[in-house]
């Protein structure tokens, strides 16, 4: 059995910030935006739910 870190994708902080900005400014749903970007809807929702102060500093991993 593989560890999650072996199979999960890693995204740059810039990609995550841009994805969150797109999700927040788009008329599309988070699910639609995530499909367009090729990320999981749950992952994008998690990035969006992180406090703005954490996203701005890029912590942790964003």
Whether 45 has a pLDDT exceeding 60, the answer reads yes
Whether 4 has a pLDDT exceeding 90, the answer reads no
Q: By residue range, what is the domain housing residue 15?
A: 11-57
Terminal-residue alpha carbon distance, the chain: 28
Across 8-16, average pLDDT: 86
In a domain, 5, yes or no: no
Whether 31 has a pLDDT exceeding 70, the answer reads yes
In a domain, 3, yes or no: no
In a domain, 50, yes or no: yes
* Tally of domains within the chain: 1
Whether 6 has a pLDDT exceeding 70, the answer reads no
Rg of the chain, C-alpha, whole Å: 12
pTM for the whole thing?
A: 0.72
Burial class (CB in 10 A: 0-12, 13-18, 19+), 44: buried
């Amino acid at each position: 059995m593989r560890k999650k870190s072996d199979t999960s994708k890693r995204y740059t902080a810039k990609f995550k910030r841009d994805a969150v900005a797109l999700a927040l400014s788009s008329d599309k749903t988070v699910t639609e935006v995530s499909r367009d970007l090729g990320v999981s809807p749950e992952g994008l929702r998690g990035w969006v739910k992180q406090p703005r102060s954490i996203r701005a500093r890029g912590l942790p991993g964003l």
